[in-house]
Structures are given as structure tokens and as C-alpha cells.
Amino acid sequence: CLGTSVRSCLQCDRTIRYMHEDFLSSVKGITVQDQMDLKGIIEHAYTTYQDTSMQLRGVIDPTTLYQVQTEYQSEFRRHWQEHRTDPIQWDMIKIVEKGRRILRKHLERFVAEGLCPNKCGLLFQSVMNCSTCQYGLFTCLSARPTRHCGVYQLEGEEGGQVVLDCFLSWHSLIVGQADYHYFWKPEARN
């Protein structure tokens, strides 16, 4: 039902596919050959988007996908609102290539900062597979792939309070069982 066998992160977003299809069906004053050329250019762009996502781990999270979608969509609209003098094929090549650059920019940031942010332990991060557009769990082995994240030392005044700050930046990504264990080990007093 997608009309194309190649998929990439950007195409997992239905809005983008519909945007291209709407454009093709609404563009005025072009020949049948032009129509076919534009269709071919878009299909080819999907192949390059696929390559780009595969070079960058082949997965994306919903936030990044949304950012790519909104940025490309607004660029696409702006592009066709400007006064165009080039052959329409040229203009199409330019804008879909811009889409690829937008995808690359966001994926690079996601891979560097958003994917597998755990510094210790083992994290299964829920991400979308760009080839299948299905969500699955990505295995994030950290540099220290043990289940233990070390010991955090806390000190408090007798009779006072200590706060157990269990929040690590990647806790919001935890899926499934997320139990916290702590124990109380009073030191022998001097």
C-alpha cells in the first residue's frame, strides 16, 4: 500500500509521503513526461534517504522523526512558493536533496546524543527501525556492560535528611521493569 518497496526513516512518516503525492497530483501546467520525471526523482530520493539512515544505525526515535518531518515540510512549502525559473525537475531534485540533508543532520545528532545515552548498565531503547517502520527494542550496551552502575556515596548529618536522587538522564527511556534497589548500611560511629 506504500507504492514503493524502499523505505527509510523519513518515509516512515506518512505526512511526507502524502505531501509528495499531493504535490504530484496538484502541480499545474506540466506534461505527462514531467510528471513521470518528478515521480522518478522522488522514488530515487527515497533510496538516498534509505542509504543515509542505514549509514547512521538505521533507527530513529519519534521526537527526531517529528523534527525531520516538520523541518522538511516547511522547507518544501517554502521552496514551491518562491518564484521558480528552473525546469521543475531541477527544483524537485534540489528540494528532495535538501530533505536528505535535513534527515542526516537530525540523525547525526540523535545517534550522538539520543541513542543509547546510558553510561553504564544495559538499556533496551524503544526506537523505530527505518527499514520496517516498526518499533522495536535497540540493545544499548554501554562501555561498562555490567548491570551495575557503581556505588553512589551519600553523606548526611545525624538526625538530618538525605535525598536519594535516583534520576539518571536516561531513566525516562526505560521500558519494562524498572525497579530501584537501595540498602542502608550505617557505618560504625567513631
- Interatomic CA distance for residues 11 and 53, integer angstroms: 11
| Residue 9 vs 59, nearer CB to ligand NAG | 59
Which are the contacts of 166, defined by CB distance < 8 A and separation ≥ 6? 180
DSSP state of 69: H
Q: Using the rule CB under 6 A, which residue among 42, 45, 56, 59 binds ligand NAG?
A: 59
- Interatomic CA distance for residues 33 and 21, integer angstroms: 16
The contact pattern for ligand NAG, residues 146-185, with x = CB under 6 A and - = no contact, is: ----------------------------------------
CB of 51 to ligand NAG, least distance (A): 14
How many residues line the site for ligand NAG (CB under 6 A)? 5
Query: Which range binds ligand NAG by CB under 6 A, 3-11, 76-84, 90-98, 126-134?
Result: 126-134
What are the angstrom distances between the C-alpha of 51 and each of 17, 73, 167?
Answer: 17, 20, 37
Q: Does 129 bind ligand NAG (CB under 6 A)?
A: yes
- Interatomic CA distance for residues 53 and 57, integer angstroms: 7
- Interatomic CA distance for residues 123 and 116, integer angstroms: 7
CB of 139 to ligand NAG, least distance (A): 9
* List of residues contacting ligand NAG (CB under 6 A): 58-59, 129, 131-132
